[in-house]
A and B are shown apart, each in its own frame.
Chain A
Amino acid sequence: MEKVIELKDVWVRYGTQTVLEAVNLELKEANGLLGVIGPNGGGKTTLLKVLLGLLKPCKGNVKIFGKPPEKSRDLVGYVPQYRRFDFDFPISVWEVVLTGRMSHTGFLKKYSEEDKKAAEEALRTVEMFELKDRQIGQLSGGQRQRVFIARALATNPKLLLLDEPNSGLDPHMQDELYRLLNKLKQEMAIIMVTHDLSAVSVYVDRIACLNRTLHYHNSKEIPVEDLEATYQCPVELIAHGVPHRVLERHKGSS
């Protein structure tokens, strides 16, 4: 079984500023949700761009399903930060989701029946098929986020990457989103970049902290030292009513 992700000693610099420093990450499990947390400007989006092949690291090796990122694009679904969109854009939900098929359709070709079937299935998975003819701006924030997830699912990905999918959503919508991801993670590996620590505690299976360097232990418990190294300040987490712990038990406590 080939590894989903293999990052070896990856460095990214913008000018003189080092954004990612000696990042190593190995993800073998073909399903489950990996949460990447870290402060703003800590390189979370940069990490996703490296995984997507949008950004070439200045040093290091990136492999997605054993191939360079550009060669594995038909296996990767991507949900970008949604606040950067122009929601007045004249495009329907259906047209948006179909663009998730382009890596399969090929250049200069019309969308095939298979493409349309995949798009329909993706929209049904996120329960948005009934609204397929709506213009993208006529949806609520939560519905829109589901459309962007459907667009990523139309690719039939084995790896789904989400960049701050919960930002701009109210708690109820966030809850819906996480339940959807919980369903999806049975069939694919999901990496979600977020700064929402409370959500991470309930739904993720593995957790990584990123602030220029990456701390990853292939578990969902983070040593306090790693968390504090990531945020560079004491972090207090209160996990109320949560079935799992995020933090290790402190030494000395029973």
Chain B
Amino acid sequence: MFDLLQYTFIQNALIAAILASIACGIIGSYVVVKKIVFISGGIAHASFGGIGLGYYLGINPMFGLLPFSLLSALVMGTVSRKSKIPEDSAIGILWSLGMALGVIFVYLTPGYAADLTTYLFGNILTVPRIDLYLMLALDIIIVGSVYLLYKEFLALCFDEEFTTVQGVPTEKLYLFLLCIIALTIVVLIKVVGIILVIALLTIPATLSRKFTHNLKKMMLISTAFGTVISVTGIGLSYALDVPSGATIILVLSFVYGLVAVGMDMFEGRLSLKS
């Protein structure tokens, strides 16, 4: 097993798993407690437009993805709140609009769009070094923002209206949170891909919520869960020669199911006793 660690691609995969787990542990906690899973999924899927654009322009798709995901976050955050149609309908429209743009861009790109499935489904075993640097830089921005805005984000997630009354610019803060979510999605893309990214944003955080009532601890536990489970997933996918992204999600879902059922049974037994 330790022989594997000599391979650069395995080392890169492990570094990527840790960087991704930090981002999804922290930001996933906000996504779960503020109940913005759907809009986060929307931002992720709409960002496919950016990947298509990257292919079309002949640049690294990651650099098409980054600005496009931020744009998706801003547009989605603004439109879903200001438009007269229900928020979830607005998100649904923009979600598919972004994806459709991506499909057209990829179609218009001359030749074969190599590695397209990497962006859709992830492939942590092929993460190049440049992507690792990008992930590291984004992680630093994410952790720094949350460190500076912890009190504001906590208040925003718990009670947005009251926070507005306290004079905090909550609309801008909410848009900023969505932008941070967009950056997190960029970090996670290589691990599980656009289609599955929402699993990394929700499962570790939902799981850690079962163990604590403190948001900071929730972020830490969630990061730990993410790291252990994604490393397990990488090992399994290597051993069984199956796609890594999907394997990580399957392990996550399996662990979640186990913990949920286990805790229910445990609590059920306790309540029967008393």
Which residues of A are interface residues toward B (Cβ below 8 A)? Answer: 52-54, 70, 73-74, 76, 78, 80, 85-86, 88-92, 95-96, 98-100, 102-103, 105, 107-108, 110-111, 135, 137-138, 151, 155
Q: Which residues in A have their C-beta under 8 angstroms from that of B214?
A: 90, 92
What's the nearest-Cβ distance from chain B to residue A248, in Å?
A: 37
What's the nearest-Cβ distance from chain A to residue B9, in Å?
A: 37
Contact A103 B158 (CB under 8 A): no
Q: Which residues in A have their C-beta under 8 angstroms from that of B35?
A: 86
Name the residue of chain B whose CB is nearest to the CB of A53. B165
**In the bound complex, what is the Cα–Cα distance between A111 and B96 (angstroms)?**
43
Evaluate whether A99 and B167 lie within 8 angstroms (CB atoms) in the complex, with A92-B214, A111-B151 already known. no
**In the bound complex, what is the Cα–Cα distance between A73 and B163 (angstroms)?**
11
Name the residue of chain A whose CB is nearest to the CB of B216. A90
Contact A78 B165 (CB under 8 A): yes
Evaluate whether A89 and B33 lie within 8 angstroms (CB atoms) in the complex, with A80-B161, A99-B155 already known. yes
Could you pull out 21 A-B pairs where Cβ atoms are within 8 angstroms? A54-B161, A54-B164, A54-B165, A70-B167, A74-B167, A90-B212, A90-B213, A90-B215, A91-B158, A91-B213, A92-B214, A102-B151, A105-B151, A107-B168, A108-B148, A108-B149, A108-B152, A111-B151, A137-B213, A138-B213, A151-B162
Q: Mark B60-74, 1 if CB is under 8 A from A, else 0.
A: 000000000000000
Q: Which of A54, A76, A107, A138 has the most CB of B within 10 A?
A: A107
What's the nearest-Cβ distance from chain B to residue A43, in Å?
A: 17
Contact B165 A52 (CB under 8 A): yes
**In the bound complex, what is the Cα–Cα distance between A28 and B199 (angstroms)?**
56
Cβ of B159 under 8 Å from chain A: yes
Cβ of B154 under 8 Å from chain A: yes
**In the bound complex, what is the Cα–Cα distance between A53 and B155 (angstroms)?**
18
**In the bound complex, what is the Cα–Cα distance between A52 and B168 (angstroms)?**
13
Please report the total number of B residues contacting A with Cβ < 8 Å. 25
- Cβ-defined partner of A80 (8 Å) among B162, B166, B167, B215: B162
Name the residue of chain B whose CB is nearest to the CB of A102. B166
- Cβ-defined partner of A99 (8 Å) among B166, B209, B213, B218: B166
What's the nearest-Cβ distance from chain B to residue A105, in Å?
A: 8
Q: Which residues in B have their C-beta under 8 angstroms from that of A107?
A: 152, 168
Q: Which residues in A have their C-beta under 8 angstroms from that of B213?
A: 90-92, 135, 137-138
Known contacts A85-B158, A151-B162, then 11 further A-B pairs from the complex at CB < 8 Å, ordered by chain A residue: A53-B165, A85-B159, A90-B215, A92-B214, A98-B151, A99-B154, A99-B158, A102-B163, A103-B167, A111-B151, A155-B166
Contact B163 A99 (CB under 8 A): yes
**In the bound complex, what is the Cα–Cα distance between A96 and B168 (angstroms)?**
15
Contact A78 B158 (CB under 8 A): no
Contact B159 A99 (CB under 8 A): yes
Q: Which residues in B have their C-beta under 8 angstroms from that of A86?
A: 33, 35
Name the residue of chain A whose CB is nearest to the CB of B35. A86
**In the bound complex, what is the Cα–Cα distance between A137 and B166 (angstroms)?**
23
Contact A91 B154 (CB under 8 A): yes
Q: Which of A70, A89, A90, A91 has the most CB of B within 10 A?
A: A90
- Cβ-defined partner of A91 (8 Å) among B148, B164, B167, B215: B215
Name the residue of chain B whose CB is nearest to the CB of A91. B158
Q: Which residues in A have their C-beta under 8 angstroms from that of B168?
A: 102, 107
Counting from the closest, the 3 A-B pairs by CB-CB distance are A135-B213, A102-B166, A99-B155
Contact B165 A90 (CB under 8 A): no
Contact B166 A73 (CB under 8 A): yes
What's the nearest-Cβ distance from chain B to residue A87, in Å?
A: 11
Q: Which residues in B have their C-beta under 8 angstroms from that of A151?
A: 162
Q: Which of A52, A80, A89, A138 has the most CB of B within 10 A?
A: A89
**In the bound complex, what is the Cα–Cα distance between A70 and B166 (angstroms)?**
9
Contact A90 B152 (CB under 8 A): no
Q: Which residues in B have their C-beta under 8 angstroms from that of A100?
A: 162, 166
**In the bound complex, what is the Cα–Cα distance between A107 and B150 (angstroms)?**
11
**In the bound complex, what is the Cα–Cα distance between A74 and B214 (angstroms)?**
28
Contact A89 B149 (CB under 8 A): no
Evaluate whether A90 and B209 lie within 8 angstroms (CB atoms) in the complex, with A95-B154, A107-B152 already known. yes
Contact A110 B151 (CB under 8 A): yes
